C-alpha cells in the first residue's frame, strides 16, 4: 500500500468508526455488529502502526488509552467555573425568583431546568473542530489537564462531523459520570477478588479521571453529559439555544432539560423528577435552574462566588437509622474539637456509613445521646453524613449518657470554651500534634504557599522524625534530612526542596492567608494586605484600625489582634522573614485610596496620557476591580480611541457608564 492509499484509508476508517460511535452513543442505534466494529478498529490500529506519520490526534484509537501521565499540569480556566448557590427549600426557590424579578425589573423571563448529575465538572476546549484539551474544575480558576483521559470517553467527539457550524475555538462544559451498571460491575469484580468495594460512582469517576494510565481509564467506561457552550467568537442568545447547538453538533446532551415560563413550572419539574430520577442509569442529587436569556444573565451578574441567575435545588437527603457504638473526638488546626459518632456500619445513599459528625457539645446535648442509642443518619447534600435524631423507643434502660470531654484527646490539655461560642478548643497550639500538622497542611495548600511537593504523608513523616514543629521549620530542611525519609530518592527530595524554595516568591497576601489566622480567609487576607501594605503595620494595628478596613468586622479584628499578641506567632514571623518570605505588598499592589472601592472597570482603546496597563494599575491602587469583559455587573467602561464598536454597543445596551481618560482621572483625584 502506498503512503497516499494508506492516508486515504486511515481517513475513511476514522470517519466510519466515529459515525458508528455517534449512532451508538447519541442515537442508540447499532448499524454494525461488535465483531465487525472491532475488526475496523484493528485495521485502523495496524495501519497507524505501519504509517505512524498519518496517525491523527482525533483518531478513535485514542479512546482505548495507553498514554501514561506522571503528573497533571495545572491550567487556568479561560472562563471561571463558578459554583452554584444551592437550597433544599422550595420556599427559597420562590425567594430566588423574586430576586431575579427585582434584578431584571421585569416579569419577562424564563428558566431552563436541568437534572443535576452527580459527577465531576469538566471543561473541554475544541480548536478547529478537534478536541484540544480537557480540564477539571479544580478551584474554579485553575484545574488539572486530564486530556489523555478525557479522550477515552466515547460519547465525546474527538473531531466534529461538521466544524463549520461552530466557531474556530469554543469551550463546552460537562459532567463526567460513571454509569451505575459499570460501577456495580467493578464492585462485583472487586468483591470476587476479596478487594474493598469502591465507595460510590461519583468518587470513582473523580478518581478515575486522575489516573496516570489512560488504558485503565478507558476500561472504566466513563460517560459525560454536556450542559454549556462558551465562545468569544460566536455567542448564543439563550441557554436553550446553546444546548440545542451542542446536540446538533454531535455532543451528548441529556434530553431531560425543560424550558419553564415561571417558577410554578419549575416546581412542577422538580416534583416530577423526584421519583423518576431514581430510574436513571446514573446518580442525580437535584435540579439546576438557570435564567434562559444570556443577556438577562449578564444583567443579573455574579456575587463573589455564585451567579445570580442560577441556583441548584437539592432533593431531601436519604436517611436511615443505626446503632451508636461510641464517640471519638477530632482536633483541627485551630484547636477546635469536633465530636464524631462511631456507628454500626449502615448503607446509605450509595455508600457504607461508619462515622458521622456531631458538630459540637451543644448538638450532643440537644440530641441527648446515650451509648447504644439507635440514631437517625442523614447525608447533607447526599455527601456528608450527620446525626439528626435519636429513636428513644429503642433506648436501653442501662444506657449511659454521653458527656463532652474536658481534656484534649491528643495532648491531654484542659479544653477551653469562649463565652458565646459552641466550640471547645485545645489551647496548646505549639504542642498539640494535630494542630501543628494541620497548620502545616494549611500553609502549603494551593491558595496559600502552594507547595505541591509536600502532602499529608510527608508532613506526618517530618513530624514523626522531629524535623518540623511549626511552619518556619520547613525552610530549615536540608537534603540530608529528607533523603533519609521513607520513600524519598534524589529527585523527589530535590522536588520537595525546590517547592519550598519557590514558595518564597508568593505574595504578601498569600503568606498572610497561609499563617492560618482564625477567620482570615483568602479574600480577607487580600484586603488586609492591600490596606496595610506590610506585616509590621498590620501587627501594630489596633482593634479600631482593623474595623475601619472595609468588610472587616469585630470578630476578624479581635482574632487578628489576638494572633499578633502571641509572642510565639511573632517569633515564627521573624523566622519566616529571615528566610526570605514576602511580608510586604509589592508597590504595584499597594492601595493608595478607596476612591474606587466597590467599582468595576473595563479598559478598551488607546489613551493619550496612560497605557492600558498604567490605567489598570491606577484602578487597583485606588481600590477598584478590573473585569475582562462588558457585562451587566460592570460599573464603568473606560473608552479610548480606536476601541472596538462591539464593546461600546454592548455597554450602551446594558446601561454601563462610559467614561473618558479625563473622567477617570477626575474620579481618582477626588
Which residues does the annotation mark as catalytic? 116
Residues 92, 93, 98, 104, Cα dihedral to 10°: 130
Euclidean distance between CA atoms 546 and 532, whole angstroms: 9
Within 8 A by CB and 6+ apart from 330, the residues are 337, 338, 340, 434
Euclidean distance between CA atoms 389 and 366, whole angstroms: 9
Euclidean distance between CA atoms 56 and 11, whole angstroms: 9
User: Are 177 and 205 in contact, with CB atoms under 8 Å apart?
Assistant: yes
Residues 236, 240, 242: CA angle, nearest 5 degrees? 40
User: Are 310 and 302 in contact, with CB atoms under 8 Å apart?
Assistant: no
Q: Which three cell numbers stand for residue 221?
A: 467506561
What DSSP element (H or E) covers 10? helix 3-26
Q: In what order do the strands lie in the sheet with 625-626?
A: 625-626, 600-604, 636-639, 657-659
Nearest to residue 627, comparing CAs of 592, 599, 669? 599
Euclidean distance between CA atoms 601 and 487, whole angstroms: 51
Contacts 24+ apart (CB under 8 A), 5-8: 6/47, 6/50, 6/51, 6/54, 7/51, 7/54
Euclidean distance between CA atoms 543 and 406, whole angstroms: 32
Phi-psi map region of 519: left, alpha, beta (phi>0 left; psi -120 to 50 alpha): left
Q: Which three cell numbers stand for residue 617?
A: 494599575
Q: Which three cell numbers stand for residue 541?
A: 494595628
**Eight-state DSSP code of residue 670:** -
Nearest to residue 574, comparing CAs of 430, 428, 500, 471? 471
Reduced to 3 states, what is the DSSP secondary structure of residue 644?
Answer: coil
Reduced to 3 states, what is the DSSP secondary structure of residue 406?
Answer: coil
Within 8 A by CB and 6+ apart from 106, the residues are none
Euclidean distance between CA atoms 457 and 102, whole angstroms: 51
| Backbone φ and ψ of 640, nearest 5° | -110, -175
Euclidean distance between CA atoms 224 and 131, whole angstroms: 14
Nearest to residue 121, comparing CAs of 238, 202, 66, 53? 202
Q: Which three cell numbers stand for residue 247?
A: 446536540
Q: Which three cell numbers stand for residue 606?
A: 488607546
Within 8 A by CB and 6+ apart from 464, the residues are none
Q: Which three cell numbers stand for residue 174?
A: 460537562
Q: Give the C-alpha distances (Å, rounded to integers) separating 355 from 188, 240, 335, 378.
A: 24, 42, 21, 11
- The 3-class secondary structure across 40-91, one letter per residue, is HHHHHHHHHHHCHHHCCCCCHHHHHCCCECCCCCEEECCCCCCCCCEECCHH
Q: Give the C-alpha distances (Å, rounded to integers) separating 409 from 175, 332, 423, 462, 529.
A: 41, 12, 15, 22, 36
Phi-psi map region of 313: left, alpha, beta (phi>0 left; psi -120 to 50 alpha): beta
Amino acid at each position: 500500500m502506498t503512503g497516499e492509499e494508506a492516508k486515504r484509508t486511515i481517513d475513511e476508517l476514522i470517519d466510519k468508526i466515529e459515525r458508528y460511535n455517534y449512532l451508538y452513543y447519541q442515537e442508540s442505534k447499532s448499524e454494525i455488529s461488535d465483531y465487525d466494529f472491532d475488526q475496523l478498529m484493528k485495521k485502523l490500529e495496524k495501519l497507524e502502526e505501519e504509517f505512524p506519520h498519518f496517525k491523527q490526534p482525533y483518531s478513535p484509537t485514542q479512546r482505548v488509552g495507553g498514554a501514561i501521565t506522571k503528573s497533571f499540569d495545572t491550567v487556568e480556566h479561560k472562563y471561571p467555573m463558578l459554583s452554584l448557590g444551592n437550597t433544599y427549600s422550595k420556599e427559597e426557590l420562590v425567594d430566588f425568583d423574586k430576586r431575579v424579578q427585582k434584578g431584571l425589573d421585569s416579569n419577562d423571563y424564563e428558566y431552563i431546568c436541568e437534572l443535576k448529575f452527580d459527577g465531576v465538572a469538566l471543561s473541554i476546549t475544541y480548536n478547529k473542530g478537534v478536541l484540544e484539551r480537557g480540564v477539571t474544575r479544580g478551584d474554579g480558576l485553575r484545574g488539572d489537564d486530564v486530556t489523555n483521559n478525557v479522550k477515552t470517553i466515547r460519547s465525546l467527539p474527538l473531531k466534529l462531523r461538521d466544524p463549520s457550524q461552530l466557531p474556530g475555538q469554543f469551550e463546552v462544559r460537562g459532567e463526567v459520570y460513571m454509569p451505575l451498571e459499570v460501577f456495580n460491575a467493578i464492585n462485583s469484580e472487586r468483591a470476587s477478588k476479596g478487594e474493598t468495594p469502591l465507595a460510590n460512582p461519583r468518587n470513582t469517576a473523580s478518581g478515575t479521571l486522575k489516573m496516570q494510565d489512560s488504558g485503565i481509564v478507558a476500561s472504566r467506561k466513563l460517560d459525560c453529559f454536556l450542559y454549556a457552550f462558551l465562545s468569544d467568537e460566536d455567542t448564543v442568545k439563550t441557554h436553550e439555544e446553546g444546548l440545542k447547538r451542542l446536540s446538533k453538533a454531535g455532543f451528548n446532551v441529556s434530553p431531560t432539560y425543560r424550558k419553564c415560563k415561571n417558577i410554578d413550572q419549575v416546581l412542577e419539574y422538580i416534583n416530577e423528577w423526584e421519583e423518576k430520577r431514581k430510574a436513571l442509569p446514573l446518580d442525580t442529587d437535584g435540579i439546576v435552574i438557570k435564567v434562559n436569556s444570556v443577556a438577562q444573565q449578564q444583567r443579573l451578574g455574579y456575587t463573589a462566588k455564585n451567579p445570580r441567575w442560577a441556583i441548584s435545588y437539592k432533593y431531601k437527603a436519604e436517611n436511615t437509622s443505626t446503632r451508636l457504638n461510641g464517640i471519638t473526638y477530632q482536633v483541627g488546626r485551630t484547636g477546635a474539637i469536633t465530636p464524631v459518632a462511631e456507628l454500626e456500619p449502615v448503607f446509605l445513599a450509595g455508600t457504607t456509613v461508619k462515622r458521622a459528625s456531631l458538630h459540637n457539645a451543644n448538638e450532643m446535648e440537644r440530641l441527648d445521646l446515650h451509648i447504644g442509642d439507635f440514631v437517625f443518619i442523614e447525608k447533607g447534600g447526599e455527601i456528608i453524613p450527620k446525626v439528626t435524631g435519636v429513636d428513644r423507643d429503642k433506648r436501653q434502660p442501662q444506657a449511659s449518657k454521653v458527656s463532652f470531654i474536658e481534656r484534649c484527646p491528643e495532648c491531654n490539655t484542659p479544653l477551653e470554651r469562649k463565652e458565646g461560642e459552641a466550640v471547645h478548643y485545645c489551647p496548646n497550639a505549639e504542642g498539640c500534634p494535630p494542630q501543628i500538622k494541620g497548620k502545616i497542611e494549611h500553609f502549603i495548600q494551593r491558595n496559600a504557599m502552594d507547595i505541591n511537593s509536600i502532602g499529608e504523608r510527608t508532613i506526618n513523616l517530618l513530624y514523626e522524625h522531629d524535623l518540623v514543629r511549626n511552619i518556619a521549620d520547613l525552610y530549615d530542611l536540608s537534603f540530608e534530612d529528607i533523603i533519609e525519609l521513607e520513600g524519598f530518592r534524589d529527585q523527589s527530595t530535590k522536588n520537595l526542596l525546590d517547592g519550598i524554595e519557590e514558595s518564597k516568591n508568593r505574595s504578601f497576601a498569600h503568606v498572610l492567608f497561609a499563617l492560618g489566622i482564625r477567620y482570615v480567609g483568602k479574600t480577607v487576607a487580600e484586603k488586609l494586605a492591600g490596606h496595610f501594605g506590610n506585616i509590621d503595620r498590620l501587627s501594630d494595628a489596633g482593634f479600631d484600625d482593623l474595623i475601619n478596613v472595609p468588610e472587616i468586622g469585630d470578630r476578624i479584628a479581635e482574632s487578628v489582634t489576638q494572633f499578633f499578641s502571641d509572642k510565639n506567632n511573632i517569633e515564627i514571623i521573624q523566622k519566616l522573614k529571615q528566610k526570605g518570605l514576602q511580608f510586604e505588598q509589592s508597590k504595584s499592589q499597594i492601595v493608595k485610596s478607596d476612591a474606587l472601592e466597590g467599582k468595576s472597570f473595563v479598559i478598551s482603546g488607546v489613551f493619550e496620557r496612560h497605557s492600558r496597563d498604567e490605567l489598570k494599575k491606577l484602578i487597583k491602587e485606588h481600590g477598584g476591580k478590573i473585569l475582562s469583559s462588558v457585562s451587566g455587573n460592570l460599573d464603568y467602561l473606560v473608552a479610548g480611541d480606536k476601541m472596538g464598536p462591539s464593546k461600546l454597543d454592548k455597554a450602551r445596551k446594558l446601561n454601563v457608564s462610559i467614561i473618558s481618560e479625563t473622567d477617570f482621572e477626575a474620579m481618582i483625584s477626588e
